[in-house]
Amino acid sequence: MTDVFYVDGQFITGQTASIPISDLGFTRGYGVFDFTRTYHKQPWYLAEHVARLLESARALDLDVPFSAAHIINITGEALALSTHAECYIRIIITGGDGITSLLPAGKPRLVVSITRAVPFLPEKYEQGIKAITIDEPRYLPGVKCLNYIPAVRAMQRARSADALEALYVDKIGNVYEGTTSNVFAFIDGALVTPPLSGVLRGITRDIVMDLARAFFPVREEALQVDSLYRADEIFLTSTTMQIMPVTRADDLLVRDGKPGDNTRKLMACFEALVEK
């Protein structure tokens, strides 16, 4: 099985890829990334992920000389070199080397990483997971930047609480999103998810909302932590999780502590979409 990396115009196999230590992505965290995966060796919504990557770069005033078509082509070439049955795809654009320790020289660096996809264990989907809430300030939540300090801190606390994910909550009790996921709750028969004003526009989030509209009212609105605790069902969405049932929020069971029927319906719809 072969990992493949593209750095500075070269494709590299194995674990020998590197970037200069002077890169602003390393020294200052100045850069953006996006992440997707393959199904049946085909990249999942790659164009949408690359479009979001470039939107993130514009939000950080990172002047990217690479077109979306170029990034997609490079990713396809890297995938063709990998022997993994299914792959995770991480695309990174760093600030490149700097004129000074803070000022970029205007030569961003493109990195593409192709590694083996490692799915969650089936019992996570069968039994559901625990998610905790955490008041942790975030920087530019709508941007996938390289600064993941809040997420690292949050996940350290989640692991201490034997939870799989941490959900960001502000000081007045608004729930926003997970460290790497969007959050949904069934409340009074409707599917509710926080609005884009405070969260990342997840590609899987959009897909699930489109699927859900065939069965349920779908609302983008503020989600209070008290409403989350009282929800009939809760689930998370992300590229790696797909649709992950949450059966415990902090120390409270979600209803009977089992994945709900509505969540299972959407999980089946998502699986059918993947298998098309």
In the CATH scheme, what is the code of domain 4-116?
3.30.470.10
Q: Model confidence at 100, in pLDDT bands (50, 70, 90)?
A: confident
pTM of the model: 0.95
pLDDT over 70 (residue 272): yes
Q: Which percentage of the chain shows pLDDT scores above 70?
A: 100
For the chain, give every domain's residue range.
4-116, 122-274
Of 79, 54, 88, 89, give the one whose Cα is nearest residue 68.
Answer: 54
The rounded radius of gyration (Å) of the Cα atoms in the chain is 19
The pLDDT of residue 136: 86
249 vs 15 pLDDT, higher one: 249
The reported pLDDT for the residue numbered 137 is 82
% the chain with pLDDT above 90: 91
pLDDT at 1: 65
Q: Which fold has domain 122-274?
A: D-amino Acid Aminotransferase; Chain A, domain 2 (3.20.10)
The pLDDT assigned to 210 comes to: 98
Please write the tens of the pLDDT for every residue from 178-221: 999 999 999 999 999 999 999 999 999 999 999 999 999 999 99
Higher local confidence (pLDDT), 17 or 122 = 122
Banded pLDDT at 38 (limits 50, 70, 90): very high
pLDDT (mean) for 91-109: 91
Q: For 16-31, what is each residue's pLDDT tens digit?
A: 789 999 999 999 999 9
**226-231, long-range: CB < 8 A, 24+ apart:** 226/173, 227/185, 227/187, 227/192, 228/133, 228/167, 228/175, 228/183, 228/185, 230/187, 231/185, 231/186, 231/187
Sequential DSSP letters for the chain: ---EEEETTEEEETT-----TTBHHHHT--EEEEEEEEETTEESSHHHHHHHHHHHHHHTT------HHHHHHHHHHHHHH---SSEEEEEEEE--BBSSSSSB-S--EEEEEEEE--PPPHHHHHH-EEEEEE----S-TTS-BS--HHHHHHHHHHHHTT-SEEEEE-TT-EEEEESS-EEEEEETTEEEE--GGGS---HHHHHHHHHHTTTS-EEE--EEHHHHHH-SEEEEEETTTEEEEEEEETTEE-TTSS--HHHHHHHHHHHHHHT-
Mean pLDDT of 12-18: 84
Q: How would residue 228 be classed by pLDDT, with cut points 50, 70 and 90?
A: very high
CA of 102: how far to CAs of 41, 96, 115, 195, 237, in Å? 39, 11, 31, 34, 35
Report the pLDDT value the prediction gives residue 252, as an integer from 0 to 100: 96
Q: Hunting for tokens 């990998």 — which residue is that?
A: 82
